[in-house]
């Protein structure tokens, strides 16, 4: 496979009841998969595709790791106090405007 074509893989693999899942569908639903927002049937179809498609599996693993790194980094960083105060003030003003 040429380097240019690797990024545009359209590999299709059999899913439930003969349905086919292609690489584009996996890319489009990777965040839903990681967030647990897919039906069990759809999750199984995508997992079957991932078992047979090393490109999509690598992309999924990269996304999973990147999300963890970002989350860990965000949890370690402290927000500047001035920013916290500004955000709280904006929320309070918005609540007053809405009558909440």
Higher per-residue pLDDT: 89 or 13: 89
Give the count of beta carbons closer than 10 Å to the beta carbon of residue 95. Answer: 10
Which DSSP string do the residues of 17-34 spell out, in sequence order? GG-EEEHHHHHHHHHHHH
How confident is the model over 10-69, as pLDDT tens digits?
455 544 445 678 999 999 999 999 999 999 999 999 999 999 999 999 999 999 999 999
Please state the pTM of the whole predicted model.
Answer: 0.59
């Amino acid at each position: 496979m040429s380097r240019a074509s690797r990024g545009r893989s359209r590999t299709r693999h059999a899913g439930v009841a003969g349905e086919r899942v292609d690489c584009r569908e996996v890319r489009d639903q990777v965040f839903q998969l990681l967030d647990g927002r897919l039906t069990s049937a759809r999750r199984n179809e995508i997992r079957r595709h991932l078992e047979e498609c090393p490109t999509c599996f690598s992309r999924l693993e990269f996304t999973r790791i990147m999300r963890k790194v970002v989350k860990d980094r965000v949890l370690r960083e402290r927000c500047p106090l001035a920013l916290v105060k500004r955000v709280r003030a904006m929320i309070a003003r918005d609540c007053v405007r809405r009558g909440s």
